Every structure is written in structure tokens, then in C-alpha cells.
A and B are shown apart, each in its own frame.
Chain A
Amino acid sequence: MAQALNTALRDALRDDERVLVFGEDVGPLGGVFRITDGLTRDFGEERCFDTPLAESGIVGFAVGMAMGGYRPVIEMQFDAFAYPAFEQIVSHVAKFRNRTRGKLGLPMVIRVPYAGGIGGVEHHCDSSEAYYVHTPGLKVVTPATPADAYWLLRDAVADPDPVVFLEPKKLYWSKEDTDLTRRQAEPFGRAVVRRAGRDATLVAYGPSVPVALEAAKVAADEGIELEVVDLRTLVPFDDETVVASVRRTGRCVVVQEAQSFAGVGAEIVARIQERCFHSLAAPVLRVAGFDIPYPPPKLEHSHLPGVDRVLDAVDRLQFDDRPDVLHLARGAA
């Protein structure tokens, strides 16, 4: 995926001279994850450059550059290091179009390596998507495959609105045979069914997509066919694809790596029950991280929702009208 992102940036720089790449260590080093590898060498200092070390400055500077006719693609080095820029993102990036009654939009992309599963020490593994999706005016993207990483990033750069582009760090090293010169991806804003199945739907995005796919594979061995929907863009949200799938299967589990409370999963579950109530054979469940600060490396495996937790949730979907015994036994509120 890292390679696909690098290629997307190259192609964007090549195709549109307004595109600029800047941030911390994105120049000669090529970024700490090497996503911008070689861009300064190949496109010059003016197109890809290092800034002083200040996230609020980087985002604010990008706002100004966008006002001045450029299309900045900026990097926050890690999820948690974007927080100093939060003020710029929620008060300015997200609201510029609205404040100016549509006269001034900000075409810019904020790339954020995010989420866990890489054994990172504190502040390097946050799942921060809920903060962004809760902010009207921001589009929020998270690819799960190299092809999507490429095409969604190209789409994000071309978008007239600001896009927060969340790159699941643990998928940087994932590989896929794909020809990036031919579009093999759904349009921006559409979810995609990654695996078809009739018994229940797993809704996933970003880092939880491979987990859902793996769970579906294991379930298939036991004769349960799970459908896996990869959301791709959280904003805009593709109700249509999700609803069609859940209406077909009648059962659904939403899988997210982020902590659970008031997370993206909560929004998805609400939307599904609003639209699919009469098709549902069981409550829509969530599998998520615990409501704790991201754990230290040696304990992250206890926190991260894995295949077993997904399958446990599937077991609770009241097949054959079995009540949700696990839930009852736990005496949960």
C-alpha cells in the first residue's frame, strides 16, 4: 500500500502543477513511512518540501496555500501528532466554504497514518477517525487495499473539498497485484462488497477490513456465509450499499478498531436500524476496541478486535431464533 500511495502522489504531482506535498520529514527522508520517497528528488524542492516542526502551522499554511490557488497534500506524521492542528482543522479547514457562503472552498488533503497493530509506543496508534467524521465540512477516507489507496488518494486530491485521508499503518506493507494505470476502484463515496455472503453482513473500514475478511473465511469453513462491506469513505457515507446488503442478509456486525463509545460504528448501527428495521432478524452488533487509551505494545493484542471477537458477535446474531445467551449471561445493561 505504501508503494501505491507513493505512486498516487507522483501521478498527482505530474498531472497537476498546483499539487504540493509538504510536512515533517517528507523531503529528503521520504517520510517516516517512506510514502513520499523520492518526491523531492524527482519533482524538486518547490513541489515537495519539509516544513518547520509545527502541525498547526502546517495545516494553517496549507489553508493559505489553498486560498492562493494550490492544492496542498500535507502529512501529519502520526495520528496523535495531528492534535496540535485540531483547531485549524475544525475551525478553518472544515468551515471555510460554509463561512464564505460557498465563495471559497479549500481543496486540500490531510494525510494521516493512523490506528494500531504495529507495536508502536504511546501516541503512535490512535484511531482518531471519529473526531473528523463528527466535523461537518470534512470528507474522511480510509482505504483498505493498495488499489483503493491509489485511487482514493487521486480522487481526494482532485476533490473540491478538504479530505482527511486516514492511512491504516498496519496495512502499509500489504501487497496486491494491481495495474494502477487502469481504474479498478469504485467511485469516491461508494462502499464496496469485498466478499458476498447470505447469512450476515460485516461492515468494516480501513484496518478492520482484513479482520472482517479473515473472519468470513473462517466462518465459511463452518458453513456460515458472511458478506463483507468495505466502506472506503466514511464521509460521504454510502447508505445504499450498506442497506442493500443488510436487507439481503438480515443480520449485521460492524467492526471497527477504534474504541467503541460514540464511535463511527455507533453511527452506522443507528443508520442501519433506521433503514432496515423490518429486515433485521437480530440487533445490529458492534465489535470495537475497548474504551481505553491505546495500550502499550505488549498488550495491544488484548485490545484489538480480532477474528475471534468478530465470530463471537456473529454467534450472537440469533440464528435459528436462539437468544443472545452470551449477552444475557453477562447481565449487560
Chain B
Amino acid sequence: MGWLEGRFEESVITTSLEQAMNWARESSMWPMTFGLACCAIEMMAVGCSRFDIDRFGAGAFRATPRQADLMIVAGTVNFKMASRVRRLYNQMPDPKFVIAMGACTCGGGPYYKYGYNVVKGVDLVVPVDVYVPGCPPRPEALLEGLMRIQDKVRGMKDLTKEQPIDVPIPSRSGYVLLPPELSDPVKADAFAKKNKELATPAKG
């Protein structure tokens, strides 16, 4: 804060407008009410009192995309639904964030091989910010995903748009220690590349 610091009474807090906006934004992420399959049940559990997503300021599930900042794609996306998912995404105001919840939305999940009508990952339809794998993910995992989104918001540079996409792993302020292979972006990239190679389906 430079020269402003310490010039006022103790009860006055100085901050940059950017930080203040980001703080407000991250503490009032409004997700869209939007469940497609079994993962939605777990998302509802996250909204209930036991896990209580309201502790993170994201409990106000909106029934319209126009009031929502966060789209939690919870469940199997099939081709018939994909165009609707994209339309809902387009209707959300910027800045908007997407959590792909569950194995299905991360990459087809149990329907990868024989699901003739399942989109093999919702990232083929809308850009995804955070992937929460699991079938279904534990509620804690979704909360963690939400916290990653909040990290992303905290790092936002512009007041209006443009999320920082050059940081592959959002740097966290605490709470969770990243494993050594993910501790810096270069290592994380290598790790992701290796995983991708391991996961390539065998030919034939």
C-alpha cells in the first residue's frame, strides 16, 4: 500500500480496489442450480448443513444463469444436453467459472468406452476452470474445488474479466500443502504430461 499505510486511524483499512473487488467476488460465488446425474446428489449434500457450502459464501444457488458466477457441472453430460450446457454458459455474466464435478464431466468416466451418447468430458463443450474427479467426489472434494476457484478469483488481475490462465496450479495461501511433484508449475506440467502418457488408451 506504500505511502498510504499508517497515515490513518487504526480503524481505517486501506486496500487496492482490485483486491477489494476480488475479495468481495470470492466470498460471494453464486453457483447455478444445475444437476445432471448422480453427482448432483452429492452437490446437494454440499449445500446442506453437514458440509455447508455457505461457509465459503457459495450457498446461494441461483435458478437462472444470469445471476450466477459459478457453474458446477454435476453429472453426465450427453450430446443432447451439451448444447444446452453451452447455452447456459453463454448466458452467464462475466467473470464466470466452471467446476467439472465427477469423472463423467472430467472425461467420460464410466461411460468412456461404451457410452455412445456421452460427451467425453465437459471441457469439449465449455472451458473448465477446476476439475473435481471422483465418482462421485466426496463433498469435501467439491469444497476444495470451490476453494481453488476462490484462489483463482484472488489472483484475477483485471477488474472486469480475464482470469489468469498462465498459472496452471493456483497458488494457495495455506490449508493444503501441494505434493512435491506439483509444487511448482514446471514440475506440475511434467507430472501432467506423464499422467497423460500413462492414461493413453492401449491401441486395438
A and B pair up: no
A interface residue numbers (CB < 8 A to B): none
Query: B-side interface residues toward A, CB under 8 Å?
Result: none
